Structure 1
Amino acid sequence: MTSVEVEITGNLQKLAPTKPDSMAIVNSLTFSSNGEQVIMSTDDDSMYLYDMRAGTRSRNINSKKYGCSHVKFASDAMCALHGSTKVDNTIRYLSLTDNKYLRYFQGHDKMVTGINVSPSDEMFLSVAEDKTIRLWDLKTYNCIGLMNLSSTPIATFDPEGLLFAAGLDNNLIKLYDLRSFDKGPFSSFGPLDNTDTYEWTSMRFSPCGKYILICTNSNVLFIIDAFSGAIKHVLQDHQNTKQIPLTASFTPDATHVMVGSSDGLIYFYDVESGMVAHRIPAPNNQTCHITEFSPVHFAAATADTKLTLWCANDELKAFASQPQ
C-alpha cells in the first residue's frame, strides 16, 4: 500500500470510488490507527466494521437499546468506544470480537458530542452538551480529569498524545499538557472567529502536528498554525447549503484537506496555498458530510447514506471487485 512518503498530490487524480454500501445516515466513521479497518455508526442504531485489505464489510453490530454515535477504535483495534443516543449519556466500551461490553464510562449528564482516543496510550477525551471535557483511562470506570466550561466544547489529542487542544465559544483554542492539564492551558489562541452564524463542530491536528483543522456547520473550515495560533487559511470554496456539520480530514502527509460539499463534489485543498487542488464527484452526487482519510495508506472513506471506499493503487483495487 502507498506509504506517507509517496507524493500524494499526483495521486489525487487517481482516486477512484468502489461500489457504495447503502445504509441509514452515517453519524460517525473512523479508521484504525494502522489503516486496515474502518468502523462506523448510523442513525438506525447500528455499527459496521470494514476490512480495508479485502474491501468488505466484516461485521454488523446492533445497539438498538442504547443507540450509537461518535464511534472510535480504542487502543486495541478489536475494541471500540461509542456514545449513546438512547437511555442515558454513558460512553460504552465494546469488544468487537464477541460483541460484549467491557466497561461503561458514566459521568456526562447530557448528550456526548465527541470522543477522541489518545494515539499513544489508553486514555481518551469526551466532550458533551453538559459543557464539560472529561479525560478517561480505559482501565478504570471513573474519569481522571474534568473541565467545566461555559459552552459545549470540542477537543482533540495531538499526534503524539502529549497534549490536547480544546475549542471554546467558537473563537478560542486552548492547549493543555496532559501531565498538568489541571493547572490550566499552557497556551491560548483567540479570539479567532467572531461569528454567530455557525458553530465550530469538531477539530483535529494534522498528522505532522503543525496545524489544527476546525470544522463547522457551515462551508467554512479553518487551518490554524498549532504553534502561533495564527489562521493560516479559511477554506470556503465548497458548499454547505443545509448547514450540517461537515467532517473534513487531512491526507496522511498533511499536504491536503478533504471535505464534502452540497454541490455533489468532494474538494481537496492544498494546505500550503489554501487553494482548491482537486475536485471529484461524490457518489450519487450526495453531500458526503463525512470524509475520512486513512492515517497510513492512500485510501479514504466518505459517507452520507452510503459508505464509499476510495483507493488509488493496485493493491487496493480489490475493493472495486468485492461485493459489499
Structure 2
Amino acid sequence: MMPIEVELTVETLTKLVPAKQPSDSMAKVNSLSFSSSGENMIMSTDDDSMFLYDMNSGMRSRSVNSKKYGCSHVKFASDAMCALHGSTKVDNTIRYLSLIDNKYIRYFQGHDKLVTGINVSPLDDMFLSVAEDKTIRLWDLKTHNCIGLMNLSATPIATFDPEGLLFAAGLDNNIIKLYDLRSFDKGPFSSFGPLENEHGVEWTAMRFSPCGKYILICTNSAQLFLVDAFSGVIKNVFQEHQNCLRIPMMASFTPESSHVMVGSSDGMIYFYDVESGSVALKIPAPNNQPCHIAEFSPQHFVAATADSKLTLWCANDDLKARAQR
C-alpha cells in the first residue's frame, strides 16, 4: 500500500482506481471502517455478517456471523483484532467481539432503542454510542457499565476529535456542542447554532477532519456540511452529488484533510476540495453502481466504497507493481 506522505492533489487522486470487488456477500453493506493503522478494514452487512479484510492483499481474512442479534455500525476497538458492533435484532446491546477467536468479550447494555452510531476514541479505551432512544452514552471497554449519559430531545450524532480529548454532539439537526471529556458532566464548553438547515434534512453522522479544524456533517440528503470546528461557521456545503433515495450518506476525509470523498446515486464518486467547496474530481464506480458509503484509509492511498457490493480502491501504480511481481 502507498503511504500518504504528501498532500493529495487532483492529479494524485486520478490514480485511484477500482482494484477489487470481493464477492464474499451480496447483501447490502450497512457499515465499514478502517483500523487506525489502515492495515485492516471491517464491514457489516444486512444479512447479519461481518467481514475482515487485510488491506495489503485486499483479501478477506476472517468472517463472523451474528445471525441471532444482527450487526451494524461496526468499528475497530482500540485493539485492531477486536471490534464493536450494534445489534439489529432481539435487543439494542452493543457487543465487543474478539476477531481472533470470534468470541464476545463484553456486552454494553443500556440503550432501549436502536443504536444509530458508534465512535471509538483514538486515545484510549473509551467509545461513544448514540441511539434512537435520544441518548448519548460514554463507555469504557474495560467495564460493562455506562460511565456517562446524556438525555436529549431528539436522536443525536456524536464523534471524538482526532486527539481523543473532546467530543462533539450534533443535536436537533442544527446545533453542535463540544464537550471536554474530563468535565463533560458540567456541560458543553462551546455551542454553535442553530445552523442553517433545510426542513426534512436529517443529520445522520459527524466526524472531525484528521487535522481537527473541521467537522463534517453527513445527512440523509444530497448535502454535506463542512463546519469550522473553532467558530461553528458553515465553511462549505457540498451538494453536487446525488442521493435520490434520501438514505444516510457516509463520507470521509482524505488523510491530510484536503478533500472529502462521497458516493452518489448517479454511480460516481465525488471528491470535494475542502478549501473551495467545489468538486475537484469525479470518478465512476464500477458499472456506475451507486454507493452510500465512501471511506478513505487513514494512513494509505486506499479507499473503500459500498452499497450492495464492496469495492476496494488503490493507486493504479500499485496495481502495475503487483502485476509485475
Shorter chain as denominator, the TM-score bin is: over 0.9
2:200 to 168, 176, 197: 197
How big is the alpha-carbon RMSD for the aligned residues of Structure 1 and Structure 2?
1.4
Structure 1: stretches of 5+ with no match in the other structure? none
Q: Which residue of 2 aligns with 1:240?
A: 243
- What does 1:1-324 align with in structure 2 at a 5 Å threshold? 1-9=1-9, 10-22=11-23, 23-312=26-315, 314-315=317-318
Q: Give the TM-score normalised by the residue count of structure 1.
A: 0.96
Q: Percent identity?
A: 80
State the shift of 1:318 in Å: 7.4
Change (3 A) 1:139 1:24: same
Q: CA deviation at 1:212?
A: 0.2
Q: Matched residue pairs, number?
A: 321
TM-score (norm 2): 0.96
Q: Deviations for 1:202-230, whole angstroms, at most 9, x for unmatched residues?
A: 00000000000000000000000000000
Distance change in 2, residues 1:153/1:196 (3 Å): same
SS of 1:8 mapped into structure 2:
coil
Once residues 315 and 308 of structure 2 are traced to their aligned partners in structure 1, the CA distance between those partners, rounded to angstroms, is 23
What residue identity is the alignment partner of 2:192? F
Shift of 1:65: 0.5
Rounded Cα–Cα distance in structure 1 between residues aligned with 2:42 and 2:275 = 31
Q: Distance in 2 between matches of 1:199 and 1:169?
A: 9
Q: Partners of 1:63 and 1:164 in 2: how far apart?
A: 30
Aligned partners of 1:73 and 1:79 also within 8 Å: yes
d(CA) in 2 for partners of 1:119, 1:212? 16
Contact 1:170 1:193 (C-alpha < 8 Å) held by counterparts: no
By how many angstroms is 1:193 displaced?
Answer: 2.4
Residue 60 of structure 1, CA deviation = 1.1
Distance (Å, rounded) in 2 between the aligned partners of 1:315 and 1:221: 31
Secondary structure of the corresponding residue to residue 182 of structure 1: helix
Q: Which amino acid aligns with 2:259?
A: H
Q: Equivalents in 2 of 1:234, 1:286: separation in Å? A: 24
Q: 1-side partners of 2:296 and 2:207: how far apart?
A: 13
CA contact (8 A) 1:163 1:175 kept: yes
Distance in 1 between residues matched to 2:144 and 2:64, nearest whole Å: 23
2:212 maps to a residue whose letter is G
